[in-house]
Structure 1
Amino acid sequence: MASASSEPQPQPVLVHTTAGTLRGSREDGVAVFRGIPFAEPPVGALRFAAPRPAKGWDGVRPARDFGPPAPQGMDAAGDTQGDDWLTANVWTPEPDPGARRAVMVWIHGGAYMIGTSGLPEYDGARLARDGDVVVVTFNYRIGAEGFAQIEGAPANRGLLDQVAALEWVRDTIGAFGGDPDRVTVFGQSAGGGSVAALLAMPSATGLFRRAVAQSVQGTFFTPELAADIAAECASELGLRPTVTELSTVDPQLLAIAGDAVTARLPESVDRWGPVAYRSVTFAPVVDGDALPVTPWQALADGAGRGIDLLVGHTRDEQRLLSLLDGLLGQVTEEQAEQALRLVAPGPDGARRYRDGFPAASPNELHETVNSDWAFRMPSLHLAQAHHDAGGRAHVYELTWPAPGLGGILGACHGLDVPLVFGNLDRGQPATLIGDSPYPEAEALSARMRAAWTRFAVDGDPGWPAYDAEHRLTQVYGAQPEVTRYPEETSRLLWQHHTFAPLPLLSSPSGSTARPAFEPTPPAR
């Protein structure tokens, strides 16, 4: 009898690690291992605790399926069943311990609230195969589980998970053919912000040699702001933000409470400022311990001076977000003025933006200032701080317009993800490329994949490093070229701005807020 399917069945492949033996599969020309635990499930007694290394196992552990994503709210991606949230996935050309290939470790985005490494757009097969590198993706705690300021718990648990994943890579990746001394972290949006945070974290020192920060999300919170938002999330459930009161709450219910607070954020601009305006509920907390200072301050002080940095953004970051908010092409003069007032730098930022872009419409002003505040200028300032302290940074901007959805989104937020991974026909960002990949998209993707993997291998993406005199930037447009940084007006408007931790402006009563408690430092 003929087989029910003519599809070739993946061939099993074994890897022996110190924790135990894994059975993966050979797919698309590479060996793939999914759902490998790098830390114990953070549930029960470990709920809201710093991650603990995963235990070993006897026999052969199947590694065919992705682990469940961390709990997230109604916008969750993927199946959230199961509590083994902290797992990693590996794509390798050949799991030969003697190969010592460069390793690329991806940190997914999602505003620190949603996302999972198992999304099809993050499939690492093409990047690993074409670049002859080992690709690793992983899950980390997001939302309240990972970033809420909870009494009795360490701050920045999501970042601590990322450090734990990198420690697992250091200790284990050799078995998959990777070189633990040539690790590059790369991430986009909140993943780019995470890469920036790792550059500033003492516990991450020595865990990676290079970093790629794509569209760095520039939101970092003070403990006071984070504590006030956490209190609001807990109050949705009639509780206080303490480990004692929250540790028995269903994680999905806590995520939904976070969604409820997010939906009301625009009403709290006087209390929470720009994060309320931009509906940012969670972000890394500059707690003075796990994250002593902001990434920009850390790099200015010389942290990571020996780390090679590749950083950049898309030209039209805000356009996709405006579409999702129902504002694309619909911004009024009043809405543009509110954006300028809340996020433009300095007390006269609104006037300076209008002077800098005198012919801009309300839509254009709204898009530009929001793109600058959220992603473009945080990315550029990261490169500038690294360069000024003696480090080497390469800068890029993606200007190629997405042809999907009638071409209305330009070079929008997230367009770089399918181009870097080469997954032009799958996952959510594939709608930006169109129903069938255009030849120019394939060509541009090949260029970007080659640059990213070349950077991971030897630190040179193929264009000169950024400096204060020439500001040379790789522009990925219809015809890629190296030129001076294109967003010069925005650069000048923000050149004296300091990306400080975002503060709590007032308590609900209107008085100056004070933190109700201090976070517990993570266990050493």
Structure 2
Amino acid sequence: MLNEPCVEVRTERGRVLGRMEPVGGARGGGRAGVAVFRGIPFAKPPFGALRFAAPEPPAAWDGSRPATRFGPPVPQYDRMNPPAAGQEAEGGPEPDCLSVNVWSPGLGATGLPVMVWFHGGAYAFGHSGDPAYDGALLASEGVVVVTFNYRVGMEGFGQIEGAPANRGLLDQLAALRWVRDNIAAFGGDPDRVTAFGESAGAGSIAALLASDAADGLFGRAITQSVPGSYFTPDLAADIADAVARLVGRAPTAEALRTVEPSALVRAAEEVHAERGRRAGRWGVVAHAETLFSPVVDGRLPARTPWDALAAGAARGVGLMAGCNHDEYRLFMAKRREFGRVSAERAAWAMTVFGAEAGGERACIAAFPGLGDEELYERVCSDWLCRVPTLRLLEAAAEAGGRAFGYELRWPAPVLGGLLGACHGLDVPLVLGTLDAPASVALLGPGPSEEAEALSRRMRTAWVRFAATGDPGWPAYDTDGRLTKVFDRRDSVEPDPLGASRVLWGKAGFGVLGLADHRSERRR
């Protein structure tokens, strides 16, 4: 890489020096290289006096700034891929962690579609330097790809007195404004921006769709596995108080500003580990995969995404939304639950996660013939992502927006297929990063021709949607509910989530409040 030719671009804050890099591997197909710029700051480092504050534009610089290395991650701990024993959790006041990365197939071009990737990570971890999020192959298809970091955990989503709520969302807005103001210099069209992301990234995009603050920053959105959790300020504040107490401070910006970020990360993980004992106060959140979610505070966002879209918000934004058939199997694998789910465990899940759908009796009636483990996985997958994604599609379609639905059904080949089409499997397939370490854990070493072919089909659809607003299958409506199914043989099917849709009816997925197992609907 050191011998790759350098390329230079002038941004609003100064010149950046990147490299032309080849598109590697068989998936590159001998295509010309792409221009890559890494670690460009879009906001000042959020530490010191700026800790827990809204992002501020970065300072300008003189000369050419090297842009060949990713910026450092924001403070975090990745519980899905924890460090080795004895290794400290990532954290600490690193410079310029709020940074963007750009892959451009044509610096001399004009008007190329732009795709901005929002990473996932339970609103608690994730960073754009993860090899699974490399944008080179997708960019070689003819789009400018942007990835970026945003604050997560207590730094980004903790409800802290004296600090703006949803600082992670504010970072995302700042990154999108950077794209609007600078992407033309990289060959992209600021009026042809598609926001796309997975899991917490998809939930963030959904929250931005519900906010006027994002108007004009992207014209299309792709949400992959939208989670259903959005919190009231009271619930979020109670969670932040529990974390702050572990470091001996009040949950205020003034009190926490001098606490080492890594200490807050460790405290949040400790609260997460023992969250189950708070079920009487936090309800279903005490059993969920994350302590943090966007806070519906009447501003950013003002309402839940499905309520906002049903009321006509973001009607002019083209939407593509989908989920994976077996979302929850990833978490079952992490907990080694395969073959160990008892009737009692399944009944618990149907009572807790399926409460709004009618509980255990209703879930069993909706899915006749399923065993305990299958019922457990189905209701958890429905609550986690499948039904929230369906609700988003329905809300957009009912309000007259143009929306497209998909489902990934192709099973991950590892563990004898036990993972199925689990949470996160779509990420390497869409980005083409099949050889990244996290991808190999799902796909195995040396991806198969079948995985390669599926990745090509999905990339083609995503790029086509970004370029034209049409991914290549019929739009979703509440009559036919036609949905693209990606599998060994792709198809278009009517209402593939029909059983779950009927089970859930119009229930669930409002704002999760304090001391309540049910969703609180705010309209």
Range of TM-score over shorter length: over 0.9
Cα distance per residue 1:49-72 (max 9 Å; x no partner) = 011111110011000000011101
Q: Which residue of 1 aligns with 2:28?
A: none
Distance 2:261 2:489 in 1: 47
Query: Offset of 1:74 from its aligned partner?
Result: 6.2
Cα distance per residue 1:415-474 (max 9 Å; x no partner) = 000000011111302221111111111111000000000000010000010011111000
Cα distance per residue 1:262-281 (max 9 Å; x no partner) = 00112221211111112421
Q: Residues 327-342 of structure 1 correspond to what in structure 2 (within 5 A)?
A: 327-342=337-352
Cα distance per residue 1:27-79 (max 9 Å; x no partner) = 12100000000011111111100111111100110000000111013646896
Distance 1:294 1:442 in 2: 37
2:14 to 20, 38, 45: 20
Distance 1:113 1:17 in 2: 30
Q: Residues 270-419 of structure 1 correspond to what in structure 2 (within 5 A)?
A: 270-346=280-356, 348-419=358-429
Cα distance per residue 1:120-172 (max 9 Å; x no partner) = 0100000000x200000000000000000000000000000000000000000
What is the identity percentage for the equivalent residue pairs of Structure 1 and Structure 2? Answer: 54
Amino acid at match of 1:24: G
Distance 1:91 1:165 in 2: 15
Larger mean CA deviation between 346-355 and 103-112 belongs to 346-355
Query: Offset of 1:490 from its aligned partner?
Result: 0.6
Q: Which residue of 1 aligns with 2:64?
A: 60
Contact residue 266 and residue 279 of structure 1 kept, 8 A:
no
Distance 1:8 1:242 in 2: 46
2:111 to 100, 107, 115: 100
Distance 2:40 2:2 in 1: 24
1:111 aligns with 2:115: no
Aligned length: 499
Q: Which residue of 2 aligns with 1:517?
A: none
1:266 aligns with 2:276: yes
SS, match of residue 75 in structure 2: coil
Unaligned runs of 5+ in 2: 23-32, 84-88, 518-523
CA RMSD, aligned part only? 1.5
Q: Which residue of 1 aligns with 2:213?
A: 203
TM-score, normalised on structure 2?
0.93
Larger mean CA deviation between 498-507 and 104-113 belongs to 498-507
After TM superposition, which residue ranges in structure 1, 4 or more long, deviate above 6 angstroms?
76-79
Cα distance per residue 1:351-393 (max 9 Å; x no partner) = 1111111211111111000000010000010010000001011
Contact residue 317 and residue 371 of structure 1 kept, 8 A:
yes
Cα distance per residue 1:234-273 (max 9 Å; x no partner) = 0001111001110000111111110010001122212111
TM-score, normalised on structure 1?
0.93
Unaligned runs of 5+ in 1: 1-6, 508-524
Query: Offset of 1:80 from its aligned partner?
Result: 4.8
Distance 1:469 1:347, change over 3 A: closer
Larger mean CA deviation between 425-434 and 41-50 belongs to 425-434
2:49 to 35, 39, 45: 45
Cα distance per residue 1:323-372 (max 9 Å; x no partner) = 11222221111111111111114373321111111211111111000000
Contact residue 212 and residue 311 of structure 1 kept, 8 A:
yes
Distance 2:307 2:268 in 1: 30
Contact residue 308 and residue 459 of structure 1 kept, 8 A:
yes
2:165 to 151, 155, 159: 155
1:457 aligns with 2:467: yes
Distance 1:94 1:216 in 2: 32
Distance 2:487 2:409 in 1: 5
SS, match of residue 428 in structure 1: helix
1:437 aligns with 2:443: no
